[in-house]
Amino acid sequence: MNLDKITNKHIYWNPYFGGFLLGILMLFTFFITGRGLGASGAMKSGVVTIVDTVAPTHAENNAYYSKFISEDKSPMNNWLALEALGVLLGAFISGGLSGRIGWRVQHSPKITSKRRLIFALGGGILFGLGAQIARGCTSGAALSGMAVISSGGFLTMIGIFGTGYIAAYFFRKNWI
């Protein structure tokens, strides 16, 4: 990110260039791993690890958690968890280099910071539940599906954006 000295305005990367880089990354990921990108697998690994640490008996007796628990291998020992950690680390490095790290809540003047945070948390929880129900997140279902010209990937992307536009109509007063 650059700061234009004349207008004092932030200049960001071109979104088309970012999309191009994402496409190159998708091709590289398919070539190296044989599958696409996804973030929900990392979240699942984190949750299983936490549950196994806090309540190991419950994790072993649970039909879902027990599938991912092994005596010789941690659920965090997979490339999806490393991918998520790399994304977080890269975001902090990028934000630090551009001077964009700080504590603030961006919201419309019509709502409070507390309401904005509640909506963000609720949306994140719904998104995570949806990813588990769908057996994958949007990046896995839509982007990876579209990268292999899967009709399911295109339908997923249409569903994601269509639902987003419909939901935005009803919640727009919180941001406008």
Shortest CA distance to 1 belongs to which of 100, 136, 107, 86? 100
Q: Cβ distance 43 to 88 under 8 Å?
A: no
Q: Count the neighbouring beta carbons within 10 Å of the beta carbon of residue 135.
A: 9
The residue-averaged pLDDT of 143-149 equals 77
Structure tokens at 129: 């539940």
Q: Does 63 reside within a domain?
A: no
Per DSSP (E only), the strands in the chain are 2-4, 9-11
Instruction: Tell whether 135 is covered by a domain.
Output: yes
Q: Please check the confidence at residue 9 and state whether its pLDDT lies above 70.
A: no
- Number of domains into which the chain is organized: 1
pLDDT greater than 80 at residue 139:
no
The answer to the question of residue 117 being in a domain is: yes
Residue 84 included in any domain: no
Query: Which range marks the domain in which residue 146 is found?
Result: 104-176
pLDDT in tens, 56-99: 999 999 998 888 888 888 888 887 788 888 888 988 998 888 78
- Amino acid (one-letter) located at 55: A
| Contact in structure between 100 and 1 (CB atoms under 8 Å) | yes
Please state the rounded mean pLDDT for residues 37-43: 74
Does residue 162 lie in a domain region?
yes
Predicted confidence (pLDDT) at residue 1 exceeds the cutoff of 80 = no
In a domain, 158, yes or no: yes
Residue 128 inside a domain? The answer is yes
Does any domain span residue 67? no
